[in-house]
Chains A and B, each alone.
Chain A
């Protein structure tokens, strides 16, 4: 589903967010702390803080449907992936360096835009025992970079 450009893009200093709907339709969302490719790139794994994502995780458990947005603040380049087979798996401590690198990349990305580093680090603060991983197979991808082509499906590989 993901071409190599998009696969590389989602693993740079992008802002990552995830949403899922409750059975009554009410969505919930939260920020992700980095992501990785699983199963030879067929799946994406996103790291979430459990304490901040209780409703979101409930929704994922009940529906498996998620929307996952990646956006690079300096360029507004934005990609949305959808999945309908999302599941929650325990966080593997081996992935901690991915999170650390993601936060470092994101800080480098937004500080030139005027964001105070302390605020950015507070927004992304986590404790390792609070982390979970959500994995899913992207079934649709959309460009959401603002402009006339925003919302158009990306050609699949």
Chain B
């Protein structure tokens, strides 16, 4: 069960993963529009205006850049790397981030974050408890994003050599900075 959770690309059918991944993209765009956030790079969320084109295009562009970059690297490592496996890897790796962005909109968490912005020095115990809960959720989910990306890519291209892993890390860093492009 844990193996399936940490590396779904190795265990689930590509159509199932594609369905789940595309659903997460639609959720990210729809809820991004409703709650005012966008995915502007791989594993990066930022506030956005309530504008379909801004949320939609930025989110799709961040997915597109990540898929293109990892697919090119995948082809360099293994000529038989398939586009759908890389696409699924990127889509599934972002699912925890989408979940995280929705969790931040839960009323008590959202109120706690607002309280920090309003008055960072005078926080009440309830706000501090909510912030601790956020940090307890954010850290494992962020780690899960990277684990899903690494395991998915490793399975997709049969990555084994240390220099492949180095290139993978370099591309992962590159696609995390695409919000500046």
A and B associate in one complex? no
Chain A positions near chain B (C-beta within 8 angstroms): none
Chain B positions near chain A (C-beta within 8 angstroms): none
